[in-house]
Structure 1
Amino acid sequence: MRLQGRITRWKDDQGFGFITPDGGGEPVFVHISAFASRRLRPSVQDVVVYTPGTGERGRPQALKVSYPGDRRQARVSRRSSGNGTLGLLFAGIFLGFVAVAAMLGKLPLLLAGLYALVSLVTFGTYAWDKSAAQKGQWRTQESRLHLLALLGGWPGAMAAQQILRHKSIKGSFRFVFWLTVSANCAVLGWLMSSAGAPLMSLIAG
Structure 2
Amino acid sequence: MKKQSGTLQRWDDARGFGFIVDRKGRDIFVHITAFGKIRSRPKDGDKVLFRVEPDAAKGVRAIDVERCWRPAHLLLPEFLLPLLVVAVFYGAFWLFFSKNALWFFLAPLLIFIAVLTFIMFALDKRAALNERQRVPENTLHFLSLAGGWPGALLARPLFRHKTRKQPFRTIFWLVVVINIALVGAFVFSFQAAPLRDWLDGQALSWLITLKEWGWIRGPV
Matched, 1:191 2:191: no
In 1, distance between residues paired with 2:29 and 2:134? Answer: 22
Q: Tell me, in whole angstroms, the C-alpha distance in 1 between the residues paired with 2:29 and 2:124.
A: 21
Q: Please say if residues 102 and 199 of structure 2, whose CA atoms lie closer than 8 Å, have aligned partners that are also in contact.
A: no
TM-score, structure 1 normalization: 0.63
5+ long unaligned stretches in structure 2: 9-18, 21-25, 41-72, 203-220
* 8 Å CA contact 1:114, 1:152 repeated in 2: no
User: Are 2:124 and 2:135, in contact at CA under 8 Å, matched by a contact in 1?
Assistant: yes
Query: 1:87-166 alignment to 2 at 5 Å?
Result: 87-105=82-100, 108-166=103-161
Q: Distance in 2 between matches of 1:87 and 1:196?
A: 29
Q: Secondary structure at the match of 1:36?
A: strand
Cα distance in structure 2, aligned partners of 1:132 and 1:118: 21
Inter-partner Cα distance in structure 1 for 2:34 and 2:102:
44
- Structure 2 residue 196 is matched with structure 1 residue 200: yes
How far did residue 203 of structure 1 move?
A: 3.0
Bigger relative contact order, structure 1 or 2, given CA contacts below 8 A and separation 6+? 1
- In the TM superposition, 1:26-45 aligns within 5 A as 31-33=2-4, 35-36=5-6
Is 1:86 the counterpart of 2:78? The answer is no
RMSD: 3.0
SS in 1 for 2:167: helix
Q: Is contact 1:101–1:107 with CA below 8 Å preserved after alignment?
A: no
Specify the alignment match of 1:68 in structure 2. Answer: 31
**Unaligned segments of structure 1, at least 5 residues:** 1-16, 18-30, 39-48, 51-62
**Cα distance in 1 between the residues matched to 2:139 and 2:87:** 23
Please state how far the C-alpha of 1:106 moved relative to its aligned partner. Answer: 8.9
Moved over 6 A (4+): none
Larger Rg: 2
The answer to whether the Cα contact below 8 Å between 1:122 and 1:153 also exists between their aligned partners in 2 is yes
Query: How many residues get paired?
Result: 152
Task: Give the TM-score, by structure 2 length.
Answer: 0.59
Alignment correspondent of 1:176: 171
